[in-house]
Amino acid sequence: MATVNVKREFNIVFGATIAFSLAFLFAGALFVETVMDNLVEDDSAYNGRVPVWERELLEFETTGDFGVAIEPGPYALLPTENEWNSTHHFVEYTLPIEEGGAAPNALISLAVWRPNVPEGTLVPVIAEFGPYFQEQSVETPTIEVPGSWLGQMIIDQILPHGYAFAQVSVAGTGRSNHCMDLMGNAEQLGNDAAVRWLGEQSWSNGAVGMIGKSYDGSTPWQAAMFGSEHDYLKTIVPISGLIGVKELMWRNGSAEARAPIMHNGVYGSYGLDGDEEDYQNLCPDYIIGPGTGVSAYLLGSEVAGDYWAERYFLDRVLEHYTGSVYLIQGMHDWNVDPHMAVPTINALKDAGIDAKGLFGQWDHDYPDRPVQLDDRSDLGGRGGEAFPEMVRYDWMQDLLEWFDFYLRDVGDQPGLWIEIQSNQGSWRLEDRYPPADVEILEWDLGGVMENVGGTTTVTPGLNNGPVWESQPLNSTLYIAGVPRLHVDVTTATLGGQLYALLEDCNPDDDCIHIGHAIMDLRYHAGGDEIQTWTPIIETINAKMEFFPLDVEVEEGHRIRVSLQSTGEDYLPASTTSVVFIQEGTSSTLQLDTFSPDERRYFTPPACMHELCIQATSS
């Protein structure tokens, strides 16, 4: 609770300072010059749009269960023959015969909602592609019903400004035929066909945007791979989506508990509904899916042939995509970890793609839902310290401004920065993330980081590994990006695994989680190549990377690092071994730090939902 109070005092003081001097500070820094170039003093010059640092001054609706746009749109929903005012369509496309299932004649099922615009007016399309429509949820008994998680909000808030909205069932789900291909080639081709169909309709202006969370946040990456083969997909908004399937379930060679069963164990029942088309699920990748997961866990992911390469999207997006990306990620997402977005956002920028990031301290959620954000954010380093400041009631307005520019060519270009929130709740702007202008602190284990655990051995199953702590900090430390833990080790056998926990401990020795890392030592050099060494005799350096984080550690607190053989939701190593840690100058914790005086902080519209008020007053 002391941490929360200090954070709030910091926000109040720092926010007041910035509100007084925004127009004058930081003029010398290159990034701030870029930001200030976009700052306009007069709303009319911004075409009625509001910069993020001014939104706290506006009258946003901040008491509801989700955000709304500032102004309602002028158009009503176009009525149709059903009660949901939607129309259903099948899109035909051709699958290579080797895909099996329904190949070569495949169908994608989709539903469309349109605004009631004057005759001859063409409108862009915002679409959500996923496996959940008309599948496992009673919320969408048929695809013609808008999804309560996102679709209804788009229809209510964005469609009235002159947009159509579509829901699309990926291959093998809902009424789409073929098999459940778990983001494979058949699914990718179906998504591309649906994008082309939406862009080619007589009422469409030819501009399509995709948005969605989780699985539905992964399909935009798939469609963006096709790039210049057609020019309909103008922007994507992936929310906690996957840049690759293997990347979701393996980190430094270590496997999540769900990794071996992801294809058929988690999504295997999709498309199986007891009708005569169930035989179509007997396509090659559906059959080998479980085996690829198990073999990757036991033997190494590279033995799985091209199953994983087919399901890695980012390389093809960087090569082919010509649109824009608004990337949204929870920094405390335990379902789709933030390494899907960091440093992906920098790779997009380096490839010349217009890219913006919104990275808050929430879990697997949307940015504007106080009920869900409160329910899934706990004190003790699980997002709770950043609630309620994490709630972004301006998010729907942000989406409207983004879609207006990239789908309708209306308004000024949105700022292509990253809005990042620290674990203590403060929001700031960065031009890259991880940021480039950082100072690296390198602390050696057994030196600056004192061994307070008394052991240097990690024994599988015992959870009694070494613990190191820094001295109390003489000033608040601001850490951003991807910390590293490079550790010299020897092993008893050719294998082993290390799980590192990074904590912030106050003077009362109350510690909160600030980060974690895991590594199968077969991958100790980093990357996907299995390494070999001589057990007992040869020392190897395990180059561990923590999951991305943004952390403020207060003056007087200590930083603690501990090692175990596994942790959180990861499996024990398939090649179990006792691991012996060697302290010294080549075993180091490396932290990327920055000064807040060189950053631009801002305050979003304050959440006044009853849950936020309760959290603030407690």
What is this structure's pTM? 0.91
**Average pLDDT in the chain:** 89
d(CA 231, CA 354): 15
Which CATH superfamily is 439-593 part of? Galactose-binding domain-like (2.60.120.260)
Strands (E) in 228-378, as ranges, are 233-239, 250-251, 254-255, 324-330, 354-360
Please give the C-alpha separations between residue 617 and each of 101, 361, 609, 614, in angstroms, as whole numbers.
58, 20, 12, 5
**pLDDT recorded at residue 471:** 98
Contacts of 211 by beta carbon, 8 Å cutoff, 6+ apart:
126, 127, 128, 150, 154, 217, 220, 236, 237, 238, 239, 399
Domain extent listing, the chain: 1-65+328-436+601-618, 72-240+265-322, 439-593
d(CA 2, CA 563): 27
Least reliable range by pLDDT among 160-169, 219-228, 358-367: 219-228
Q: How confident is the model at residue 262 (pLDDT cuts 50, 70, 90)?
A: low
d(CA 499, CA 565): 6
In DSSP notation, 394-429 reads THHHHHHHHHHHHHH--SSPPP--EEEE-TTS-EEE
Helix (H) or strand (E) holding 84: none
Please give the C-alpha separations between residue 506 and each of 39, 503, 553, in angstroms, as whole numbers.
39, 10, 9
**pLDDT recorded at residue 300:** 64
CB-side neighbour CA atoms (13 Å) of 276: 0
Q: How confident is the model at residue 7 (pLDDT cuts 50, 70, 90)?
A: very low
* pLDDT higher than 50, residue 505: yes
264 vs 69, which has greater pLDDT?
69
Name the β-bridge partners of 383. 378
**pLDDT recorded at residue 249:** 84
* pLDDT higher than 90, residue 41: no
Q: How confident is the model at residue 110 (pLDDT cuts 50, 70, 90)?
A: very high
Helices (H), 166-283: 185-200, 219-224, 245-249, 267
* pLDDT higher than 90, residue 243: yes
Q: How confident is the model at residue 462 (pLDDT cuts 50, 70, 90)?
A: confident
d(CA 159, CA 399): 12
* pLDDT higher than 80, residue 581: yes
Q: What is the DSSP letter of 335?
A: S
Please give the C-alpha separations between residue 137 and each of 85, 115, 167, 215, 226, in angstroms, as whole numbers.
20, 27, 14, 15, 30
Q: How confident is the model at residue 46 (pLDDT cuts 50, 70, 90)?
A: very low
How many residues make up the chain in this entry?
Answer: 618
d(CA 103, CA 110): 19
Among 94, 328, 307, 288, residue whose Cα is nearest residue 183: 307
Task: Work out the number of other CB atoms within 10 angstroms of the CB of residue 184.
Answer: 23
Bond preceding residue 605 cis, omega within 30 of 0: no
**pLDDT recorded at residue 304:** 52
* pLDDT higher than 80, residue 425: yes
Q: How confident is the model at residue 266 (pLDDT cuts 50, 70, 90)?
A: low
* pLDDT higher than 70, residue 296: yes
Q: Give the pLDDT confidence of 133-164 residue by residue, as tens digits.
A: 988 666 789 999 999 999 999 999 999 999 99
DSSP tally for the chain: helices H, then strands E: 14, 26
Cα-flanking dihedrals φ and ψ of residue 76, to 5°?
-85, 170
* pLDDT higher than 50, residue 31: no
Q: Give the pLDDT confidence of 308-332 residue by residue, as tens digits.
A: 899 999 999 999 999 999 999 999 9
Q: pLDDT exceeding 70 applies to what percent of the chain?
A: 87
One fold for 72-240+265-322 and 439-593: no
Q: Give the pLDDT confidence of 90-107 residue by residue, as tens digits.
A: 999 999 999 998 999 999
Helix (H) or strand (E) holding 127: strand 123-130
Q: How confident is the model at residue 286 (pLDDT cuts 50, 70, 90)?
A: confident
**pLDDT recorded at residue 104:** 94
**pLDDT recorded at residue 276:** 55
**pLDDT recorded at residue 20:** 32
d(CA 350, CA 344): 10
**pLDDT recorded at residue 137:** 65
Among 148, 149, 239, 229, residue whose Cα is nearest residue 191: 229
SS3 state at 66? coil
**pLDDT recorded at residue 277:** 63
**pLDDT recorded at residue 294:** 80
Q: Which CATH architecture has domain 72-240+265-322?
A: 3-Layer(aba) Sandwich (3.40)
Q: How confident is the model at residue 26 (pLDDT cuts 50, 70, 90)?
A: very low
Single-letter amino acid code for the residue at 99: E
**pLDDT recorded at residue 39:** 36
Per-residue pLDDT, averaged over 248-270, amounts to 75
- Cβ–Cβ under 8 Å, residues 517 and 546: yes
